[in-house]
Amino acid sequence: MSGSGRSDAWSVLMVCTGNLCRSPLAEHLAAAHFPPGTTHRPVIRSAGVHAESDEPMHPRAAALLRGRGCDPDAFRSRRLTRDLIETSDLVLCATREHRSTVVGLAPRALRRAYTIREFGRLTSAVRRADLPLGKVRPAGEFLASAAWAARCTGRVVPASLDDLTDPVEQGREEFETCAAMIEDALSAPMSLLAQACRAWQAVPRPRQATSDAAAGSDAGRPLAAGGRASTG
């Protein structure tokens, strides 16, 4: 998310072509690491480069998500816009072509735009102990920085290792394969984010100073001569 008015929320945008299969799968599978009620969970959305707005998810994708305990019924597709990109802290795309489209629409997103599988690969060396203890934003920014640093090492891999094949006109097996690739790529980084949030929430909050507690314990006691609180 560009600009100085950042909130504690950290946002991830998943991108594919029609916002019917790959990016909705990625959105819901990533969000599953942060159950409802989780404090400081990231905002995870999705969009499609050529999406028709307000369409339900592909039935096979929806069935896969239900089988994994997710509820896809409220999902509706949306078209990718420059504003969606610029208000997202991390943009994860189905393919390198989608990533190029994202950067073309919003050039400042270059350092935070990856394919889904690329991001999983580039952050694979990050461990829980590496992440800063805090809310989801500092942990998310650490992961994004680690991905950029790894990308800058110059290692080149084939597109087949970074792209997700579109299963839209395929059968159940192809959808299962796509979902498994997404889970394989996102499981580690999303689990790290979830662990960072839980670790921060588990840290005991500072207690009131002893002097404050003592002063509070005297409240309401009648004053004896000399202005001291009576102990009797």
The pLDDT assigned to 103 comes to: 98
Nearest 10 degrees: Cα torsion 66, 97, 118, 34: -30
Q: Taking a C-beta distance cutoff of 8 angstroms, is the pair 79, 51 a contact?
A: yes
**Rounded Cα gap, residues 18 and 109, in angstroms:** 21
Render the burial of 93-130: b for 16+ CB within 10 Å, e for the rest: bbbeebbebbbebbeebeebbbbbbbbbbbbeebeeee
Q: What is the pLDDT of residues 178-193, one digit of tens each?
A: 999 999 999 999 999 9
Domains defined for the chain, CATH in brackets: 11-203 (3.40.50.2300)
The pLDDT assigned to 154 comes to: 75
Q: What is the pLDDT of residues 192-222, one digit of tens each?
A: 998 887 755 554 444 544 444 444 444 444 4
**Rounded Cα gap, residues 123 and 143, in angstroms:** 7
The pLDDT assigned to 159 comes to: 86
The pTM (predicted TM-score) of the whole model is 0.83
pLDDT tens series, the chain, 232 aa: 544 345 568 999 999 999 999 999 999 999 999 887 767 789 999 999 999 999 999 999 999 999 999 999 999 999 999 999 999 999 999 999 999 999 999 999 999 999 999 999 999 999 999 988 777 899 999 999 999 999 998 788 888 899 999 999 899 999 999 999 999 999 999 999 988 877 555 544 445 444 444 444 444 444 444 444 444 4
